[in-house]
Amino acid sequence: MLRTVLARSWRSPRLLRSSRGILTQACCTGPSTPSLLEQTVPQHFAGIVSNHGDRDAVISHHQNTVLTYSDLDRDSNAVARGLINLGVRKGDRVAVSLGNNVEYATATYALFKLGAILVPLNPAFNAPQVLSALNHLEASHLLIGAETNIPYKPPRSNLPLLESLMPNLRGNSLQSELVPSLRAVAIVDNSHGRVDLAEYKSLSRYENILEDGGSGKALEGINLHPDEVVNIQFTSGTTSMPKAACLSHKSILNNGKSIGDRMLLTEEDRVCCPPPLFHCFGCILGYMATATHGSAIVFPSEAFNPLHTLQAVREHKCTALYGVPTMFVAELELLSNGTVPYDGFQYLRTGIAAGSSIPAELMRKLHKTLNLTELTICYGMTETSPVSAMTTTDDPMDKRIDSVGRLLPNVSAKVVDPVDRSRILKPGERGELAVSGYLVMKGYWNDVARTSEVLVPDDDGVMWMHTGDEATMDADGYVKITGRIKDLIIRGGENIHPLEVENCLFAHDKIKEVSVVGLPDERYGECVAAFVVPHQVKKPTATEVRSWVKEKLSHHLVPKYVFWVDTYPKTASGKIQKFKLKEKGIQLVGEGKGLE
């Protein structure tokens, strides 16, 4: 049973505008049209299948497999029936730990159709993390790959993980004292013969589940409602332990539809989606946005691989490309060093850059190098299904570089004083961004305390999701994310925004990536520390790094510490975990490093 804690009202907030329509407070609501879809995901999908059944729905480049919408409908019906035979029922939490492949795509719609709750797990989770997630949600079933693929690492067999959870895996029936709720484990053999599953009789094979489902006839007698929870997403965990956000049919369906609308997607588009399906970026920005428009989604590889991504774009004539900054940087590096030729990207026009703030110089490179002239920027978080603000394909260039756009339809947002959340700030003032509307989660699963920390009603009874992100909203409603409230560096009483320093350093031609954090300082309280990934061919000196910032910005923004790194600790979606960088920085300073 879902234990959410707050009854809420989605009444629109009162907005203050001048007679010319200019905001007088940093509070705004997106367009009221188009109206929200009052459907479940399967209901809407049935219409797409009816209109675009012969169109490609899923193209798995690494599997050399293509499913049309009719194929996807048939196979997901069959898998749903097979899962019912395996004991899955409406409301069950079914954990899925897979990379980007056709099995994940098919299982997603199968679970949606039978009313079970899809719980994506990061395949990189270790045994304690999987154990914690399964028990927290009292999961009834687990669908997992024989192997886990992680970016830049060799495949890893999942049998040791499964045996640690279920020691009797070779028996005829599955039992787990560690996860009492678990009734069955289904496995997708993605190992290409590297993992021998023959002795593991208690595991249900995915291909058998598909076969048990028969001809793929539509399900009958399952009553679904748009407001029912259909997806539980674990938050990325950039600052703390992940939380389980509960999302409904209505929230993910409408969010995906609005995202696709902003990109001007049609049934002619092919969207290359390297971000993982176990994250909102892949699942909703990818899968829901394409499926609501009859577009095709392209999976280059199970886990992010920049070479496979560029190859997939060229081979399948993709018109859109998704990514977070670190992904785009890796792809551009392959182009700049000659690994991939510059031709073959003429079909690209749009895409999404999200996950973290986008340096202006990176945006310019993507426009010029990959022909992404209609690239959109969006902002969101897991708890808001996930996107609340997004640029359009024809927004002025300065808005597409320096903002995350304006609010999606039927979404409200405000910028408030982080100390006094009842005080709405003026346009241009920095404060905490809060979001309201259909897209806000139902709550964190079985977590009253942490839900009430972020879902807060205002004096009119409107419920707001407080994001923890620092932002501004201008008089025209454009939102700019200036950082995380917790990432703010306070040096001698002056507020320093890491993104400002990062944007400056990213423009240096010898710097590939940079991340800035605050470290303790005896004199000023905190100081600036830069973790720099240099280009392979040419590496700047620490003096060059400091001089560059000193020339471009104020002196107090100059990094006291400069650390050279090869990579960053990241979440599954590619966000840099700055709290881990801070811990590492404190350690390095203690070793006398960073000042040279």
Confidence of residue 7 (pLDDT cuts 50, 70, 90): very low
What's the Cα-to-Cα distance from 453 to each of 27, 240, 271, 445, 457, rounded to whole Å? 21, 14, 37, 14, 11
The residues, ordered by sequence, that sit 6+ positions from 20 with a Cβ below 8 Å of its Cβ are none
pTM of structure? 0.87
CA distance linking residue 64 with residue 46, whole number of Å: 26
Q: Which residues contact 5 (CB under 8 A, 6 or more apart)?
A: 443, 448, 451, 452
Instruction: Name the one residue in this structure whose structure tokens are 């551009």.
Output: 332
Q: Please give the share of the chain, as a percent, with pLDDT higher than 70.
A: 95
Poorest-confidence range of 85-94, 407-416, 438-447, 574-583? Answer: 574-583
- Helix, strand, coil percent values for the chain (each to nearest 5): 30, 25, 45
- pLDDT above 90: percentage of residues in the chain: 80
For residue 595, CA distances in Å to 72, 342, 497 come to 57, 40, 21
> pLDDT band at residue 5, thresholds of 50, 70 and 90?
very low
CB 589 within 8 A of CB 338: no
- C-alpha distances in Å from residue 477, one per residue of 261, 293, 310, 532, 586: 19, 27, 35, 34, 39
Phi, psi of 466 (to 5 degrees): -90, 120
For 371, phi and psi rounded to 5 degrees? 65, 25
Which band of pLDDT confidence, cut at 50, 70 and 90, is reported for residue 320? very high
Mean pLDDT of the chain: 92
Task: Give the model's pLDDT for residue 352.
Answer: 96
Tokens of 134: 């399964």
Predicted pLDDT of residue 14: 52
Q: Note the pLDDT tens digit of each residue in 257-283.
A: 999 999 999 999 999 999 999 999 999
Residue type, 432: E
Euclidean distance between CA atoms 583 and 107, whole angstroms: 39
State yes or no: pLDDT of 388 exceeds 70: yes
pLDDT for the residue numbered 356? 64
* SS3 label, residue 516: strand
Architecture of domain 488-590: 2-Layer Sandwich (3.30)
Taking residues 22-48, report their average pLDDT.
96
More confident residue, 12 or 171: 171
- Side-chain-side CA neighbours of 139 within 13 Å: the count stands at 27
Q: According to the model, what pLDDT value does residue 15 have?
A: 52
Q: State the amino acid at position 18 in one-letter form.
A: S
Determine how β-strand 184-188 pairs with β-strand 244-248: unpaired
Provide the pLDDT for residue 205.
98
* Confidence (pLDDT) at 41: 98
- Beta-carbon contacts of residue 555 (< 8 Å; ≥ 6 apart): none
Query: Which residues lie below 8 Å from residue 551, measured CB to CB, with a gap of 6+?
Result: none
Token duo for residue 3: 């234990």
Model confidence pLDDT, tens digit, residues 214-252 = 989 999 999 999 999 999 999 865 445 679 999 999 999
Residue 564 dihedral angles phi and psi, to the nearest 5°: -95, 125
CA separation for the pair 358, 420 (Å, rounded): 29
pLDDT the model gives residue 18: 46
Both tokens of residue 185? Answer: 């484990």
Region 547-551: mean pLDDT is 95
d(CA 182, CA 185): 8
Q: Is the pLDDT of residue 6 over 50?
A: no
Of the candidates 573, 44, 66, 113, which has an alpha carbon nearest to the alpha carbon of residue 296?
A: 66
**DSSP secondary structure string for all residues of 102-164:** HHHHHHHHHHHHHTPEEEE--TT--HHHHHHHHHHHT-SEEEEESEE--TTS--EESHHHHHH
Q: Is the pLDDT of residue 3 over 50?
A: no
Task: Flag whether pLDDT at 10 surpasses 60.
Answer: no
Domain ranges of the chain: 69-233, 488-590
- Nearest Cα neighbor of 578 from 588, 590, 570 is 570
- CA dihedral for 191, 192, 198, 199, sign (positive or negative): negative
**Is 69-233 in CATH node 3.40.50.12780?**
yes
Of 1 and 355, which is predicted with more confidence? 355
- Residue 575's pLDDT band, with cuts at 50, 70 and 90, is confident
pLDDT tens-place string over residues 183-224? 999 999 999 999 999 999 999 999 999 999 998 999 999 999
Q: What is the pLDDT of residue 238?
A: 47
Read off the pLDDT band of 345 (50, 70, 90): very high
CA-to-CA dists, residue 285 to 79, 186, 298, 381, angstroms: 24, 27, 13, 12
More confident residue, 292 or 397: 292
Q: What confidence tens digit (pLDDT) does each residue in 76-122 have?
A: 999 999 999 999 999 999 999 999 999 999 999 999 999 999 999 99
Structure tokens at 414: 């405000």
Instruction: Compute CA distances 490 → 429, 480, 514, 524, whole Å.
Output: 17, 20, 20, 8
Q: Can you give the pLDDT at residue 357?
A: 64
| Confidence category of residue 485, pLDDT binned at 50, 70, 90 | confident
**pLDDT class of 430 with cuts at 50, 70, 90:** very high
Q: Could you report the per-residue pLDDT of 138-189, keeping only the tens digit for each? A: 999 999 999 999 998 999 999 999 999 999 899 888 889 999 999 999 999 9
Report which of 411, 445, 421, 516 is spatially closest to residue 231, judged by C-alpha positions.
Answer: 445
Distance CA 411, CA 29 (A): 6
CB atoms near residue 545 (< 10 Å): 22
Length of the chain counted residue by residue: 596
Which tokens sit at 571? Answer: 């979440």
